[in-house]
Amino acid sequence: MTGELSPIDTAKFVAARRAADMVQSGMRVGLGTGSTAAWLVRCLAEAVRERDLHFRGVPTSTRTAEMARDLGLEVITLEEAGWLDITIDGADEFDGELNLIKGGGGALLHEKIVASASDRMVVIADAAKEVESLGAFPLPVEVIPFGWKATQTLIDEALTAMDVMGKTIELRPGADGPYRTDEGNLILDLKLTRIGNPRQLAMVLNQVPGVVENGLFVDICDQVVIGHADGRVTLRDVTADTVSEEQYDVGGDGNAFGDLGE
């Protein structure tokens, strides 16, 4: 990579670099999916080269698995790992209680399984992902292909009793027909604008026949690492109820990022 990073990529990079420092040799690590998680994989590959870090990664998608292998990281399955020490992943939105919306990249089912099978889940995000109330980002719901239109109707009926501002539901498109997850399922994107009670909505959605999982991550995230365009990193820990801040020297010539590759 050459030249300067954009402000948003700088924020993602410093968040990923701080989270990569949490990984210690011998750990079993869940590797998330998405643009910020991709920065994490690059930072971990750099740590393997520069500080002789040894760990085994469990990717949450085929995309992350391919990237990790290409960068020389050891990749195993969740079955082989058994249980994880830490999962580090991005988020489409998070609120003050570290409730999340995830699944913009289509891997919400694997992401939730991996995060739930970890001692600790850490979210890495740029500051723009923090919201007062979840819902501005469409909520992904993974559904089986059979009878998906009936499932959509049932979801629409269920939303009538929920504390949400809107209830538009769209089938996510892919490159050639509907988008398909790694499990071959479909995704319905719920445009709700505001979600008043994420915990209640998550429970109700998962009771609808045909729904596999939803993108609300409630009581799963332990820490969030927030990156800023000026190189600052804010670390918020919901369990310890602490907030700390660090500063990274990002420079102006892009040299700090040159060894990460494209």
60 annotated binding-site participant: no
- Selecting among 46, 93, 111, 213, the annotated active-site residue is 111
Tell me whether residue 227 is annotated as binding: no
Annotated binding residue at 102? yes
CB 37 within 8 A of CB 87: no
Annotated ligand binding at 12? The verdict is: no
Say whether 254 counts as a known binding-site residue.
no
Name residue 246's beta-bridge partners: 233
Residue 34 counted as an annotated binding residue: yes
Asked if 111 is an active-site residue, the reply is yes
Q: From its phi and psi, is residue 233 left (phi > 0), alpha (psi between -120 and 50) or beta?
A: beta
105 is in an annotated binding site: yes
Confirm or deny that 57 is annotated as ligand binding: no
Half-sphere exposure of 197 (CA within 13 A, CB side): 9
Q: Would you put residue 193 in left (φ > 0), alpha (ψ -120 to 50) or beta?
A: left
Burial 192-217 (b: 16+ CB within 10 A, else e): beebeebeebbebbeebebbbbbbbb
Q: Are the C-beta atoms of 123 and 100 separated by less than 8 Å?
A: yes
User: Is 118 labeled as ligand-binding?
Assistant: no
Binding residues for substrate: 33-36, 89-92, 102-105, 129
Binding-site residues from annotation: 33-36, 89-92, 102-105, 129
Question: Catalytic residue positions?
Answer: 111
